[in-house]
Structure 1
Amino acid sequence: MAQTYLHTMFGPRARALQAAAGSRASYARMEANAGDADILTTRELDFITARDSVYMASVSEDGWPYVQHRGGPAGFLRRIAGNRIGFADYQGNRQYLSAANLAADDRVSLFLMDYPNRRRLKLIGHASSSDDPADIAALMVPDYAAEPERAVVIDVIGFDWNCPQHITPRFTEAEVQRATRPLTDELARLRARVAELEGLPNWKD
């Protein structure tokens, strides 16, 4: 855990519950030993740009949390500069809940999942949306068929890597195909060989 994430997310009640559960001392040491700021490094940026989906939570004007899923080709979520990341937001069901929430409160929390390797990165930051064509064009994914409606830009202030506990490995169709390609290639070779042998004259004749 990095410092900004710890000090932003650990409020008095969380610290009190940690104390009651016996975990406060270890978290206090983590807070004391954390760095000065949560700076996205190559490790985080490589993870972010390899993802093809993200879950983003925002808060409504009445204080209700709302979680939205956004996806696209791997790399649709990208670094703009420093700790600023963004993505082109494509047309959905036109409820515009996240867009409305961000207009009232720009705080967001993001979950990025790597199911095959059981890794999870959590980000917190301030987000804004823009319908400026230049902002949208800067975040568009080349050759992607969908048409973006807006650009969403997030200034990340904190992040946390989670342990793999309770993350069930899941695989995309492409990942399964890559993993089974040696077997399917061997099966095709054997089938071709069988067909070749079946076409030969019977040696007993």
Structure 2
Amino acid sequence: MPYHFLEVAITPNVRLAQAEMGTDQIWLGDHHRESDHFTDSELAFISERDSFYIASVSETGWPYVQHRGGPKGFLKIVDKKTLAFADYRGNRQYISTGNFAANDRACLFLVDYPRRARLKIYMHVEKLALDADPALTDLVFDAGYRAEAERIFRLRLEAFDWNCPQHITPRYTEHEVEKAVRPLRERLAELESENAELRTRLEALGGK
């Protein structure tokens, strides 16, 4: 099965919208990827994320988008077609959980803000009890992360595509900022130490 993201995403009404805007010819023809799994590029990108957005659809047809966050790499790679994550307790509304019980289709949106890169993925979601698959439970749990897991979601790949970097405002985590400014802090400390030493020498010379 090829990566048929546009085959899934582009419906007849989407075609009409493209025609109205004069872009329908751009997306005609074969645009899918000749593969049925994530490549190393996608796997590396996924493993570096500490958050993502996941969209579901309710029985009434209304979409719902939820943010998921955790330690870097909390969205685990089971294999090249499968991802999984521990669903930690939040506000206890369980909207996504309920939606997936009726419709297992989901769309994930992963963003690397500093590099202005984003990956969108269509997946099928399966809810599992924490004790349903001990090996999977061991995989998705992050030691030291203080949160209560209620279930596991296993996600099977349907299609993916990369978005262009337009209109992504670069944002940085506290860790990324600290890493960037650490050399400046270290250099500043060196200069302050040198300055203090020079002041001491000048004071000593002035006292003679």
Is the pair's TM-score, using the shorter chain for normalization, greater than 0.5? yes
**Cα contact 2:54–2:109 (8 A) shared by 1:** yes
Query: Could you tell me which of 98, 101, 109 is aligned with 1:100?
Result: 98
For the residue of structure 2 that corresponds to 1:19, the secondary structure is helix
Aligned to 2:81: 83
| 1:196 CA drift (Å) | 2.3
Instruction: Rate the CA distance shift 1:100–1:33 in 2: closer, same or farther, 3 A.
Output: closer
For the residue of structure 2 that corresponds to 1:195, the secondary structure is helix
Aligned to 2:25: 25
- Return the TM-score normalized by structure 1: 0.92
Q: State the alpha-carbon separation in 1 of the partners of residues 165 and 66 from structure 2.
A: 23
| 1:199 CA drift (Å) | 2.9
Instruction: Rate the CA distance shift 1:147–1:4 in 2: closer, same or farther, 3 A.
Output: same
| 1:3 CA drift (Å) | 4.2
Counting only pairs closer than 5 Å after superposition, residues 57-136 of structure 1 correspond to structure 2 as: 57-133=55-131, 134=134, 135-136=136-137
Q: Which amino acid aligns with 2:116?
A: R
Instruction: Rate the CA distance shift 1:33–1:162 in 2: closer, same or farther, 3 A.
Output: closer
Measured on the aligned residues, the alpha-carbon RMSD in Å equals: 1.6
Aligned to 1:15: 15
Aligned to 1:179: 180
Q: State the alpha-carbon separation in 1 of the partners of residues 169 and 48 from structure 2.
A: 19
**Structure 1: 5+ residue stretches without partners:** none
Instruction: Rate the CA distance shift 1:182–1:35 in 2: closer, same or farther, 3 A.
Output: closer
| 1:180 CA drift (Å) | 1.2
Number of residue pairs matched? 202
Q: State the alpha-carbon separation in 2 of the partners of residues 102 and 137 from structure 1.
A: 23
Aligned to 1:170: 171
Aligned to 2:205: 203
Aligned to 1:4: 4
**Structure 2: 5+ residue stretches without partners:** none
What percentage of residue pairs aligned between the two structures are identical? 46
Instruction: Rate the CA distance shift 1:50–1:167 in 2: closer, same or farther, 3 A.
Output: same
| 1:166 CA drift (Å) | 0.3
Aligned to 2:194: 193
1:63-105 alpha-carbon deviations (Å, 9 max, x no partner) = 1111111111111112112311011111111111111111111
Aligned to 1:148: 149
| 1:202 CA drift (Å) | 3.6
Q: Which amino acid aligns with 1:21?
A: M
Q: State the alpha-carbon separation in 2 of the partners of residues 149 and 43 from structure 1.
A: 31
For the residue of structure 2 that corresponds to 1:23, the secondary structure is coil
